[in-house]
Amino acid sequence: MSFHLDTPSKVSIVEVGPRDGLQNEKTPLTVQDKVTLIDALSNTGLRRIEAGSFVSPKWVPQMANSDAVLTSIARQQGISYSALTPNMRGLTDALAAKADEVAVFGAASESFSQKNINCSIEQSIERFIPVIDAAKAASVPVRAYISCVLGCPYEGEVSPQAVLDVSKTLLSLGCYEVSLGDTIGVGTPKKTSALLSLLLSQLPANKLALHMHDTYGQALANVLIGLQHGIASFDASVAGLGGCPYAKGASGNLASEDLLYMLENMDIDTGIDLQKLIKVGHHISVKLDRQNGAKAGRALLA
Amino acid sequence: MSFHLDTPSKVSIVEVGPRDGLQNEKTPLTVQDKVTLIDALSNTGLRRIEAGSFVSPKWVPQMANSDAVLTSIARQQGISYSALTPNMRGLTDALAAKADEVAVFGAASESFSQKNINCSIEQSIERFIPVIDAAKAASVPVRAYISCVLGCPYEGEVSPQAVLDVSKTLLSLGCYEVSLGDTIGVGTPKKTSALLSLLLSQLPANKLALHMHDTYGQALANVLIGLQHGIASFDASVAGLGGCPYAKGASGNLASEDLLYMLENMDIDTGIDLQKLIKVGHHISVKLDRQNGAKAGRALLA
């Protein structure tokens, strides 16, 4: 078995800690706490930061202050601060708060779509169309998240074809990138590779990102498979912020520090300063009174 | 970039929790506790269990009861219970305790060899020769561990050529397998792949095993690279037992459960029952009053 490791030489990381991470932390943060976190992240070299969500506060109270957060951060040139916008109301608020980028979020599993956003996959796409159109009219790029691409907490297996169908639809509507979410972290290298092989037979690698959860410790191995397929955009959460709502006590998001440690030591350029990122991860872990979920963070701070 | 994932269809796991793991835990266990752990591991389908170490108790007090442990466990047919034997005295004791297999341990870094076993690499090899010869005379297989194959806490970078040299020497002396240890967990896929490319240019894959530490969260990604190179023997520690003596508070050994979760979901046969292994990991974590270091364990128990 002769093997040669081939990966992109440059990778873009989307820091999702302030949104996807904090949304799943039990300790609520004030506007100022969130602004402090985002401003610190802005000084690490990150170029894409998910800063908030304009979802009804009835559903996601942790994100009720996204408006104030987005208007209070010290914006830096070259950094895109993004926000989730499930509908027109959310988009209007996000644009008013000057989000540089917005995101819609769908699923590859019908049951998850119903339970998470109360509609079928098809209905969710119908809802996204005016949001995407209005964002484009305002010259604001739209990213798309697809949940449950490697498994669903309600259905179990999810067909790669379903992921391909939703991805193609969202890209054809004008989303610039699809972030493939392993929402419950059940992906392993073989499944991830099979999914990417199918998607990349019809879609270019630069339209896809991976959003891996580390619930079963598999996230970085899956990222490695993504790199080997030519994927060069990955979501991660500083200090591994966020848990898994489907398995209490389990870990959730891949920690940005662990991802960056791997990329940096593979000579893959990200533009991010690992030492600075580790300090941010340490501070937010102390603030939230939780264990730092980044192993590279814990080791380098030891 | 077209990529196809190719791995062995069958993998052997060496469970090192009862030795490498417990040796680095601060809570001491009684003989009965250790016997209970090993007997439980014997019922999971594992075929190779590192059960003790015949090192001077002056250096490793946690292993002082290896003799009693090895003579008290309920041995099962088809399982090899191994012990570390740094010298003739250790070998004599291990043979008396009926170890099925013994292991010598050297290093690829001169400084580490000096600090860990108080002699140069060359001197360590000289010491191993009579041990290996006597074990062979007793028809007991000898495994070799090599520390610091991807980095050293004292020297930093370690040359792949040094790892190749020690590996060749130990195999030529009669060790049946060399376990390549990333003692401080600094390995990343690019380095691991480069090391294996060199080693496999001169050695067969079935003479090599990987012993990866998860100090920086990289262990499973490195294992994946090993699989892609055709390596089919991996060390791991139930519940991630053991820490990193060079970074207090950091994680150490790769958790067997996380490794098995990956292999099982890649349809790679190990013969081990994941659910049973997770229960063992849970019980020993409770016993030691520590967090379960296996993410797959925590998630499946949640």
Closest CB from B3, B6, B193 relative to A1: B6
Place of tokens 């990289």: B218
CB contact under 8 A, B258 and A216: yes
Of A248, A249, A295, the CB nearest to B251: A295
pLDDT at A140: 98
The pLDDT tens digits of the residues spanning B222-254 come to 999 999 999 999 999 999 999 777 777 778 999
The CA distance from A223 to B220, in Å, is 11
Q: Which residues contact B148 (CB under 8 A, 6 or more apart)?
A: B107, B108, B109, B112, B155, B158, B181, B182, B183, B184
User: Judging by DSSP bridges, how do beta strands A233-236 and A208-212 pair with one another?
Assistant: parallel
CA A142/CA A136 separation, integer angstroms: 8
Among B224, B253, B269, B277, the residue to mutate for chain A (most A Cβ within 10 A): B224
Q: What is the mean pLDDT of residues A243-258?
A: 85
Q: Tell me the two tokens of residue A37.
A: 């976190």
Phi and psi (nearest 5°) for A101?
A: -155, 150
User: Pick from B197, B229, B255: which is nearest to A217 by CB?
Assistant: B255
State yes or no: pLDDT of A34 exceeds 90.
yes
Q: How many domains does chain B have?
A: 1
Would residue B119 show up in a list of annotated catalytic residues for this protein?
no
b/e B161-181 (16+ beta carbons within 10 angstroms → b): ebbbebbebbbebebebbbbb
Mean pLDDT score across all residues of chain A: 96
Structure tokens at A103: 């995101």
In a domain, A159, yes or no: yes
pLDDT of residue A62: 85
pLDDT of A82 above 90? yes
Closest CA to A209 of A156, A255, A167: A167
Q: What is the pTM of this model?
A: 0.97
Put simply, whether A78 touches B (Cβ < 8 Å) is no
Q: pLDDT category, B1, cuts 50, 70, 90?
A: low
Contact B91, B102 (CB under 8 A): yes
- Per residue in A117-162, pLDDT tens? 899 999 999 999 999 999 999 999 999 999 999 999 999 999 999 9
* 3 state DSSP class of B182: strand
Q: Which residue of A has its CA nearest to B300?
A: A247
Indicate if ipTM > 0.90: yes
The answer to whether A185 contacts B248, with C-beta atoms less than 8 Å apart, is no
Contacts for B80 with CB less than 8 Å, ≥ 6 apart: B47, B48, B49, B100, B101, B141
Residue type, B266: M
Q: What is the end-to-end Cα distance of chain A in Å, rounded?
A: 39
B152-155 — which CB contacts under 8 Å span 24+ positions?
Answer: B152/B107, B152/B108, B152/B109, B152/B111, B152/B112, B152/B183, B152/B184, B153/B112, B153/B183, B153/B184, B153/B246, B154/B109, B154/B111, B154/B112, B154/B115, B155/B109, B155/B110, B155/B111, B155/B112
Whether residue A273 contacts residue A238, with contact meaning beta carbons closer than 8 Å, is answered with no
According to the 3-state scheme, what is the secondary structure of B135-169? HHHCCCCEEEEEECCCCECCCECCCHHHHHHHHHH
Q: Give contacts of B 169-188 with A, CB under 8 A.
A: 185-186, 188
> Does residue A4 lie within any of the structural domains?
no
Q: What is the CATH number of the domain that holds A177?
A: 3.20.20.70
Q: Which residues of A touch B186 (CB under 8 A)?
A: 265
Q: Give the nearest partner residue to A216 out of B215, B218, B261, using CB atoms.
A: B261
Confidence band for A113, pLDDT divided at 50, 70 and 90: very high
Rounded to 5°, the CA angle A40-A44-A45 comes to 135
User: Is the pLDDT reported for residue B79 higher than 80?
Assistant: yes
Name the A residues in 10-49 with CB < 8 Å from any B CB.
none
Residues 249-268 of B with CB under 8 A from A: 249-251, 255, 258, 261-262, 265-267
Residue A294 touches partner B, C-beta closer than 8 Å = yes
**pLDDT (average), residues A192-207:** 98
Three-state DSSP at A250 gives: coil
One of A148, A152, A175, A244 is an active-site residue; which one? A244
Buried b (16+ CB within 10 A) or exposed e, B59-87: ebebbbbbbbbbebbebeeebbbbbbbbb
Range of the domain at A238: 12-300
Query: What stretches of chain B show up as alpha helix (H) in DSSP?
Result: 22-23, 31-42, 66-72, 88-96, 110-117, 121-137, 160-172, 189-200, 219-228, 256-265, 274-288, 295-301
Residues A8 and A269: beta-carbon distance below 8 Å: no
Closest Cβ–Cβ partner in B188, B265, B299 for A188:
B265
Question: Cβ–Cβ of A302/B266 closer than 8 Å?
Answer: no
Q: Is A137 on the interface with B (CB under 8 A)?
A: no
Residue A62 belongs to some domain of the structure? yes
Helix A274-288 and helix A31-42: axis angle, to 10°? 170
Interface of B with A in 190-229 (CB under 8 A): 190-191, 193, 197, 205, 214-218, 220-221, 223-225, 228-229
Chain-centroid distance of CA A238 in Å reads 11
CB-based contact B218 A258, cutoff 8 Å: yes
State residue B185's pLDDT score: 96
Task: Using alpha carbons only, give the angle A227, A261, B226 rounded to the nearest 5 degrees.
Answer: 55
Q: Which has more pLDDT, A224 or A56?
A: A224
A247, B278 Cβ separation under 8 angstroms: no
| CA angle A19–A21–A23, rounded 5-degree value | 65
Quickly state the pLDDT bin for B62 (edges 50, 70, 90): confident
Share of chain A above pLDDT 70, in %: 100
CB-based contact A221 B216, cutoff 8 Å: no
Residues 6 or more apart whose CB falls under 8 angstroms from that of A158 comprise A108, A109, A148, A149, A150, A151, A152
Chain A residues within 8 A of B296 when measuring between CB atoms? 216-217
Strand positions, DSSP E, chain A:
12-15, 48-53, 80-84, 101-107, 142-147, 177-182, 208-212, 233-236
For residues A287-293, give the mean pLDDT. 94
Q: Of these residues, B148, B152, B175, B244, which one is catalytic? A: B244
Give the pairing type, strands A142-147 and A101-107. parallel
Look at residues A26, A41, A101, A48 and name the one whose alpha carbon lies nearest to residue A74. A41
Total residues belonging to chain B: 302
Nearest to B164 by CA among B184, B178, B151, B182: B178
**pLDDT at A1 (0 to 100):** 63
Inform me whether the C-beta atom of residue A290 falls under 8 Å from chain B C-beta atoms.
no
Q: How far is it, in rounded angstroms, from Cα A177 to Cα B57?
A: 59
Residue B286 in any domain: the answer is: yes
In a domain, B45, yes or no: yes
Residue A253 β-bridge partners: A213
3-class secondary structure, A259: helix
Task: Give the chain A residue whose CA is nearest to the CA of B3.
Answer: A229
Tokens at A121, concatenated? 């996959």
> Which residue among A6, A188, A224 sits closest to B1, beta carbon to beta carbon?
A6
Radius of gyration (C-alpha) of chain B in whole angstroms:
18
Which chain A residues contact residue B4 at CB under 8 A?
193, 197
In a domain, B32, yes or no: yes
Q: What Å distances lie between residue A254 and A15, A201, A217, B123, B175, CA to CA?
A: 10, 27, 9, 44, 39
Optimal mutation site among B184, B254, B263, B295, interface A, most CBs of chain A within 10 A: B295
Percentage of chain B exceeding pLDDT 90: 90
Q: How far is the alpha carbon of A41 from chain B, nearest alpha carbon, in Å?
A: 21
- Mean pLDDT of chain B, nearest integer: 96
> How far off is chain B from A26, nearest CA to CA, in Å?
17
> Taking CB atoms and an 8 Å limit, are B299 and A185 in contact across chains?
yes
For residue B118, is it within any domain?
A: yes
| B16 to chain A, closest Cα gap in Å | 19
A219-233, B13-27, B222-236: least confidently modelled range: B13-27
Listed range (A7-16, A80-89, A182-191, A249-258) with the worst mean pLDDT: A249-258
Residue among A234, A263, A282 at smallest CA distance from B217: A263
Q: What span, in angstroms and rounded, lies between the C-alpha atoms of B199 and B206?
A: 12
Burial pattern A25-50, b for ≥16 Cβ within 10 A else e, equals beeebebebbbbbbebbbebbbbbbb
Domain assignment present for A6: no
Mark yes or no for CB contact B267/A186 under 8 Å. Answer: no
CB A302 within 8 A of CB B257: no
Paired residues of B101 in beta bridges: B82
